Amino acid sequence: MTETNVKERLLDAALMHVPFDGWSEATFVAAIRDIGVDRAEARAACPRGAVDLALAYHARGDALMLARLAETDLSTIRFRDRVALAVRYRLEAADDKEVVRRGTALFSLPVYAPEGARAVWETCDRIWTALGDTSDDINWYTKRATLSGVYGSTLLFWLGDDSLEHQATWSFLDRRIDDVMRFEKFKASVRDNKALSSLLAAPLAMLGKIRAPGKTAGQDGWPGRWRSHGER
């Protein structure tokens, strides 16, 4: 078996233990026992044990969301509703709230918080990419940062929502998306306002040099890139 297959089998086995033991070493050991895999092989696939399984579970949810988006005709849907639909699909990809709740608790720990933040960022990046985002400047970052806030707050609301078919969550999500749309309109109004544009000319010019991660991203250990003079 490949490491990927081992991880998938471990994840499937772990899901029945997570609601009781969390994403813990006990869950990881139980999953190893359940599928009968060699411990060394399991560690090779998941060096950090259940933490790697929690991230694999999150990535699986992203894949399910993307597959569902690909099957949906978005041509007649307003763009803001496409974003909301993608977030909704992502939440609906989770088949057990307690499993998600345990993951939220894990990634709220300081040692794993960067991993959790990265997972949410990657989810939002996948949403924007799937919806056709082609931005290559500072907007690449602001879109993902803003949607990360929307996704995170909606996830926490969803975990505590006991309304019929989570209608309260979808209403909450719509309000958050409306807030984002108002912010985007404000950004546009600043660009169109000659007085403000002149006042903010220097910082806007500086921000204009920032570029989204491209083929050269990561060479110096940092995401994104800085546009040199004359580069488009």
Distance (Å) of CA 170 to CA 87, 92, 98, 207, 209: 10, 11, 19, 34, 37
Q: Is the pLDDT score of 9 beyond 90?
A: yes
The share of the chain scoring above pLDDT 90, in percent, equals 70
Distance from C-alpha of 82 to C-alpha of 77, rounded to nearest angstrom: 6
Note the pLDDT tens digit of each residue in 53-97. Answer: 999 999 999 999 999 999 999 999 999 999 999 999 999 999 899
93 vs 229: which has the higher pLDDT: 93
Mean model confidence pLDDT for the chain: 86
Measured distance CA(133)–CA(184) in Å, rounded = 15
Model confidence, pTM: 0.83
pLDDT one-digit tens code per residue, 103-134: 999 999 999 999 999 999 999 999 999 999 98
51 or 188: whose pLDDT is higher? 51
Helix axes 113-130, 138-159, angle to 10 degrees: 110
The pLDDT of residue 188: 61
Residues with Cβ within 8 Å of 191's Cβ and at least 6 positions away in sequence, in order, are: 197
Q: Report the b/e string of 150-173 with b at 16+ CB within 10 A.
A: bbbebbebbeebeeeebeebbebb
| Distance separating alpha carbons of residues 92 and 94, to the nearest angstrom | 5
Report yes or no: 19 and 96 within 8 Å, Cβ to Cβ: yes
- List, in order of start, the domains of the chain with CATH numbers: 54-192 (1.10.357.10)
Bridge partners (DSSP) listed for residue 210 = 226
* pLDDT band (50, 70, 90) for residue 213: confident
